[in-house]
Chain A
Amino acid sequence: MAVNKYLRQRFFPHLWCPGCGHGIVLNGMLRAVDKLGMSKNEIVMVSGIGCSARISGYVDFHTLHTIHGRALAFATGVKMSRPELNLVVPMGDGDALAIGGNHFIHAARRNIDITAIVMNNRIYGMTGGQYSPLSGQEVVATTAPFASIDPSFDVVELSKAAGATFIARTTTYHVKQIDDFIKQAILHEGFAVVEILTQCPTHFGRKNKQGSAVDMMKLYRDITTPIGSKAKQENPNLIERGIFVQEEKPEYSREYDKIIERATRG
């Protein structure tokens, strides 16, 4: 399938390192858009700062590359003012859940129709490999030379508690799930979170002795399992993949129509 028609050739070459998982996510995202048959004019991609955030520049949609952590707040303004547009917000783990954590939980609480893609490589890549709130304990980073003592968030549990109405997780090894989940997330009316474990061989893999990009992807194969699998019962340390939450609840920008109705009834 040709994803080229969605790319801004003028913007290449991209800045990602060899072996980076972000290109796989980009590919999956474009395949999802292609399968949905959406017009490029209907899609607004908003991103913050980081390696992941650079995705927005490479795609031929309406693209808004903003400031660190605030992509969802910008996206909320776009969505509220033009509810018919489809908002896709790719974020890194630090962008989404450290500096952007507050906006993340509030966007989820409102259940505003935005697709949030958390590209989780457990590290700040662009700034050179510092630990993030998703690194977890015993991870070595440039700011954790003796290993991190910080527990990590569980994106799925956090999103659930905050009120997201579509929550899924997969990895760059499971490429077909990426476009399937993103497709369903875009179709979902409400706040949708897709967490994708994506390898950073340059900063995370090297420091934590996880080998090459291919080795890291094989690790995703080995440490993850479908939701509720027998393997999970036998080994609780496995990370579950799949769709965790998919429910219908009133969507924020549409709910505002009720306010307009009440205000204009006089």
Chain B
Amino acid sequence: MEKNVKFVQGNEACVEAALYAGLNFFAGYPITPSSEIAELLSGRLPASGGKFIQMEDEIASMCAIIGASLTGNKVMTATSGPGFSLMQEALGYAVMTEIPCVIVNVMRGGPSTGIPTHGSQGDVNQARWGTHGDHSILALTASNHQDIFEMTVTAFNMAETYRTPVILLFDEIVAHMRERLVIPEFGELPLVERLRTSVSEGIDYHPYLPREDGRLPMSDFGGVHRYNVTGLYHDMWGFPSTEPRVVHELIRHLVDKLENRVNRLAHYKEYFLEDAEYVLVSYGSAARSALHVVKERRLRGERLGLLELQTLWPFPKEVVHEKCAGAKAVIVVELNMGQVLQLVKMAVGDPERIFLANRIDGVFITPIDIMKILRLIQGKGV
């Protein structure tokens, strides 16, 4: 019998994983359907030596976690659509200043207040382009609680490795659903700790001078190195600069550090893709129904496969291209108007073969919904 088995909500799986990864500071503001994350952490964090604060809004929450990350903590906030909109400016600040942090967006239907108690996957593009200006971003998702756990730990690891904000794009359905979660033993999943500078006191520390491997060792605020952090374009000391070379090099660095590693950052799962004639591409809760369809039709001899994406940004276009290359048709299954559909079209490069199976009414897409589309594509009628 396994020791650490729980029957929990997806939001609780995220909390367990964040604590496993070493989270010790959380700031947040109540919003459906993410509030359970804040509620649980308000009790769990002080019990494990961490800190929790409920801020006056989501803007302040995002700002507070950035401040707490600078003193050497692993930090997180959690929100949903309207709050995620409010966080965008500070999110861009974390991108620009390269401060590790994790932002959970439990997606609900938008725009505006939308449909707070129902699921959606409508924030995929907002995660990519919500904050202004050129940049790159990391966004992960998951379709079940075990994967929520693993992706949450991965998010913390990526945040520390690449000194960047990482967005966890879960959806209301997975977040509020209850299912089994096996919490891994400590040591089972690798954890990345903060890389701190080895430069000693009195020696000029360059907070924004990348090492040969591209990483930037940090120094905690309150430590022996005093330096400047700014959202302006800045040089290796963190001093503002309008020098064209400095501006150019910094934006290239911010984009390249992620975009040059698209394949390494790509997490995905594949089911029956080897001989698949029809490939479903899906993620988050929608991938559960997609997997059901694939397994069920396989029993009847239909050659269906599923590519389940877990890294949404940077979009794993080479993986998608390769996995969909031999398919007669590709069906993107998602709970929006086709945000990942457009990316798949670009990645596969043959838009006539790419179709959408979606729902945009706040209701979870069912296997029957997907089958109806599949039958149309197969020319078998409805």
Contacts and interface: CB of A to CB of B under 8 A. Distances in A.
Contacts of A263: 43, 46-47
Contacts of B49: 260
A65 B230 contact: yes
Contacts of B237: 10
Interface in B45-91: 46-47, 49, 51, 53, 55-57, 59-61, 63-73, 75, 89-90
Given A77-B27, A78-B67, A67 B53 contact: no
A64 interface: yes
Contacts of A102: 56-57, 60
Given A46-B67, A76-B55, A11 B221 contact: no
A259 interface: yes
B337 interface: no
B224 interface: yes
Contacts of B56: 73, 102-103, 106
A80 B64 contact: yes
Interface in A64-87: 64-67, 70, 73-82, 84-85
A41 interface: yes
A197 interface: no
Interface of B: 25, 27, 43, 46-47, 49, 51, 53, 55-57, 59-61, 63-73, 75, 89-90, 93, 221-224, 226-232, 237, 239-240
Given A70-B59, A77-B75, 16 more contacts: A8-B228, A10-B239, A44-B221, A57-B240, A61-B226, A66-B66, A70-B63, A73-B56, A73-B60, A73-B63, A74-B63, A74-B66, A76-B53, A81-B72, A84-B222, A263-B43
A116 to B, nearest CB: 15
Given A44-B221, A256-B51, A259-B46, A76 B67 contact: yes
Nearest to A253: B51
Contacts of A41: 222-224, 226
B64 A60 contact: no
Interface in A216-266: 256, 259-260, 262-264
A85 B63 contact: no
A155 B241 CA distance: 34
A150 B99 CA distance: 39
A57 B67 contact: no
A63 B57 CA distance: 24
Interface string A1-40: 0000000101100000000000000000000000000001
Contacts of B231: 65-67
A103 B67 CA distance: 14
A62 interface: yes
Contacts of A56: 228
Nearest to B237: A10
A9 B58 CA distance: 37
Contacts of B240: 57, 65
A262 B51 CA distance: 13
Contact of B67 (A10, A65, A74): A74
B68 A62 contact: no
B65 A63 contact: no
A65 B228 contact: yes
Given A73-B55, A259-B46, A67 B229 contact: no
B64 A57 contact: no
Contacts of A80: 25, 51, 53, 64, 68
Nearest to B96: A67
Contacts of B224: 41
A103 to B, nearest CB: 6
A63 B229 CA distance: 6
Contacts of A60: 226
Contacts of A76: 53, 55, 60, 63-64, 67
17 contacts: A10-B237, A57-B230, A62-B227, A63-B226, A65-B229, A67-B90, A67-B231, A70-B63, A74-B66, A77-B53, A78-B221, A80-B51, A81-B25, A85-B71, A102-B57, A259-B46, A263-B47
Contacts of B221: 44, 62, 64, 78, 82, 85
